[in-house]
């Protein structure tokens, strides 16, 4: 057994995962009703945790990105937007928690039968998060879990061990262990974690690991929300304002060095507009990031493994005939310690290239072209079920055509990634990009149990329609009204 493996096993024993979940389940059962006031109090403590510790987390994340991570990007994407999400949840929680009246069937409706749906907490929610937004993607699902009245166990990524340790140190200052607790450790711990008998498990990460997590959760029939990745296309229509599309596409592609689940993966552009679009992208990339290797606003590729992966995609594409443009004066990274990779644009790409099938997750942008707009869905199909579909243009019929012919988790028209920060919109994938959704009301509902409650008066209904034995002509007449002659 290697030292790392021994360390993991030791951590596993000392953290006693079974004990932790049992503790939370016991407290959940003992608590009974999770009131509005309790939920708001928990959300406010989570907000305080963010506001009071943002600097410690942001500097830790920057260090774990080898120094190459924009502090301002972190402040917005991982902290400010999460505080806004909490405020939004607090504002709407009372409304979400209200029982919903539902209609009842004839004749029960005439005889006092009443239906309602009430949202109850599920119990204990497990949250597994990735390294790319290590704080935000742990805290955002926790917001939905707490709003819905649950307790939670968090498992941050082993690729950001300092962030995970910081969570383990700071969370107990705001939450007792039976409310929210943190589990740290390597992939073996994550595997054990995914096998725990949670009442719901929310996983954010890659499609391949998502499938493993679902398998683990199935052992206890734990319902899952899977927030996965994919190849999100940017479709440029002929009615697009090309300059604007180029600006927004470039901004979106280079956010966090392309390491976002919603990063635009590749672009599809009308043949005759390709060179104009490429020129705009180059112009924008150079204006936003006049230099790369020392630029504090520009995120580096997270680690050597990912750097080599991206380099392999580029080499493979070039060997198979792609045209490569490296944007800016810095044509390569400055040193082995600085993984800030400039934007690499690939043209003349084809289906034999790895870069057209693997999620890129880095500053590499393949450009595909199309002639007639009806070709677009077939061009996307080999990379089906993306997390996001981006369309630039004013043509309503093109928009509808795409919506009806291409499936995707979400859609953003004339912008990139901004649908993610609209708190009233659900966020989630479809098929290979995930299942279930969170944020806003869908996050609340996804982590709640929508319980059907039907209540009947003391009137004995069934004999009125002859539906209790001995069955007779009255009942047969009633049934034949529904089924025809019997
Ligand atoms: P990853 O799938 O490698 O790891 C994610 C997490 O899974 C880590 O915390 C890890 O500890 C855990 N894990 C690994 N193996 C496991 C197993 N067998 N059982 C249980 N847990 C296990 O992903 P990553 O490299 O950290 O993140 C990048 C990926 O995440 C990309 O594909 C990206 O698109 C996706 N992502 C999706 C979203 C979203 O909201 N949809 C957001 C960010 C990232």
In the chain, the percentage of residues whose pLDDT exceeds 70 is: 96
Q: Indicate whether residue 407 lines ligand 1 (CB < 6 A).
A: no
Alpha-carbon span 373 to 382, nearest angstrom: 17
| Helix runs in 119-171, H state only | 136-147, 161-170
- Domain 233-425 homologous superfamily, CATH: Aldehyde Dehydrogenase; Chain A, domain 2 (3.40.309.10)
Atom of ligand 1 nearest to the CA of 216: 19
Please check whether residue 150 is in contact with residue 125, taking contact to mean a CB–CB distance below 8 angstroms.
yes
pLDDT at position 7, please? 45
Residue closest to 345 by CA, chosen among 253, 236, 255? 253
Is 423 known to be catalytic? Answer: no
Per-residue confidence (pLDDT) for residue 339, from 0 to 100: 87
Contacts for 115-118 with beta carbons within 8 Å, 24 or more apart? 115/452, 115/453, 115/454, 116/452, 116/453, 117/450, 117/451, 117/452, 117/453, 118/450, 118/451, 118/453
Q: Which of 205, 229, 446 to mutate to test the pocket of ligand 1 (most atoms within 8 A of CB)?
A: 205
Which of 130, 182, 185, 214 is the pocket-test mutation for ligand 1 (most atoms within 8 Å of CB)? 130
pLDDT in tens, 109-123: 888 999 999 999 999
Q: Which among 64, 179, 227, 284 is annotated as catalytic?
A: 227
For the stretch 263-296, pLDDT in tens is 999 999 999 999 999 999 999 999 999 989 889 9
pLDDT-based confidence at 259, cuts 50/70/90? very high
Asked whether 219 and 195 are in contact (CB, 8 A), the reply is yes
The string of DSSP letters for 192-225 reads HHHTS--SEEEEES-HHHHHHHHHHHHTTT--EE
What spacing in Å lies between the alpha carbon of 206 and ligand 1's midpoint? 5
Question: Domain-by-domain residue ranges, the chain?
Answer: 3-228+438-449, 233-425, 456-483
Residues 282 and 328: their CA atoms lie apart, in Å, by 8
Is 213 a pocket residue for ligand 1 (Cβ < 6 Å)? yes
Between the CA of 228 and the centroid of ligand 1 the distance, in Å, is: 7
Residue pLDDT, tens place only, 184-206: 999 999 999 999 999 999 999 99
Question: Which residue has 């959300």 as its token pair?
Answer: 43
**Mean of per-residue pLDDT scores for the chain:** 94
Q: Are 328 and 345 in contact (CB under 8 A)?
A: no
Is the entire prediction scored with pTM above 0.85? yes
Which of the following CATH numbers is that of domain 3-228+438-449: 3.90.1170.50, 3.40.50.1000, 3.65.10.10, 3.40.605.10? 3.40.605.10
Strand partners, 233: 266
Residues 6+ apart with CB under 8 A from 387: 228, 229, 230, 232, 261, 262, 408, 409, 410, 429, 433, 434
E runs forming strands in 371-475: 388-392, 410-413, 434-435, 448-455
Catalytic site residue from 78, 261, 284, 423 = 261
Q: Which of 408, 301, 319, 310 minimizes the C-alpha distance to 355?
A: 310
| Predicted pLDDT at 464 | 86
Reading the block at residue 234, the tokens are 């940017």
Q: Is 227 a catalytic residue?
A: yes
């Amino acid at each position: 057994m290697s030292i790392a493996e021994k360390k993991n096993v030791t951590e596993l024993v000392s953290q006693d995962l079974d004990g932790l979940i049992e503790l939370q389940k016991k407290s959940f059962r003992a608590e009974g009703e999770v009131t509005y006031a309790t939920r708001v109090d928990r959300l406010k403590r989570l907000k305080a945790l963010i506001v009071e510790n943002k600097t410690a987390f942001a500097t830790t994340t920057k260090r774990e990105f080898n120094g190459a991570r924009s502090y301002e990007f972190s402040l917005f994407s991982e902290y400010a937007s999460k505080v806004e999400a909490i405020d939004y949840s607090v504002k709407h929680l009372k409304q979400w928690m209200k029982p919903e009246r539902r209609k009842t069937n004839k004749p029960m409706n005439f005889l006092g039968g009443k239906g309602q749906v009430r949202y109850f907490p599920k119990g204990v929610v497990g949250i597994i998060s990735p390294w790319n937004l290590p704080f935000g993607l742990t805290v955002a699902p926790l917001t939905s879990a707490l709003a819905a009245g649950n307790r939670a166990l968090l498992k941050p990524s082993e690729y950001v061990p300092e962030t995970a340790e910081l969570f383990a140190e700071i969370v107990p200052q705001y939450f007792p262990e039976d409310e929210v607790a943190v589990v740290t450790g390597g992939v073996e711990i994550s595997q054990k974690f995914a096998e725990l008998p949670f009442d719901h498990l929310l996983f954010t990460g890659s499609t391949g690991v998502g499938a493993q997590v679902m398998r683990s959760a199935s052992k206890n029939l734990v319902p899952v929300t899977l927030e996965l990745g994919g190849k999100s296309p940017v479709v440029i229509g002929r009615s697009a304002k090309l300059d604007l599309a180029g600006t927004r596409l470039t901004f979106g592609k280079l956010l966090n060095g392309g390491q976002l689940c919603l990063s635009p993966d590749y672009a599809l552009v009308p043949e005759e507009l390709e060179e104009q679009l490429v020129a705009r992208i180059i112009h924008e990339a150079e204006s936003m990031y006049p230099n790369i290797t020392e630029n504090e606003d520009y995120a580096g590729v997270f680690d050597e493994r990912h750097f080599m992966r991206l380099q392999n995609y580029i080499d493979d594409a070039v060997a198979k005939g792609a045209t490569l443009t490296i944007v800016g004066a810095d044509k390569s990274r400055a040193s082995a310690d600085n993984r800030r990779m400039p934007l690499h644009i690939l043209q003349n790409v084809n289906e034999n290239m790895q870069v057209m099938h693997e999620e890129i997750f880095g500053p590499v942008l393949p450009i595909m072209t199309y002639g007639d707009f009806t070709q677009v869905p077939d061009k996307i199909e080999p990379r089906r079920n993306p997390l996001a579909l981006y369309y630039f243009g004013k043509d309503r019929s093109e928009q509808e055509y795409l919506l009806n012919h291409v499936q995707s988790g979400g859609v953003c028209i004339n912008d990139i990634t901004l649908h993610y920060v609209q708190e009233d919109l659900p966020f989630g994938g479809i098929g290979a990009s995930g299942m279930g959704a969170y944020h806003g009301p869908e996050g609340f509902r996804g982590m709640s149990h929508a319980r059907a409650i039907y209540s009947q008066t003391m009137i004995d209904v069934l004999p009125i329609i002859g539906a209790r034995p001995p069955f007779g002509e009255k009942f047969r007449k009633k049934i034949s009204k529904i089924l025809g002659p019997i």
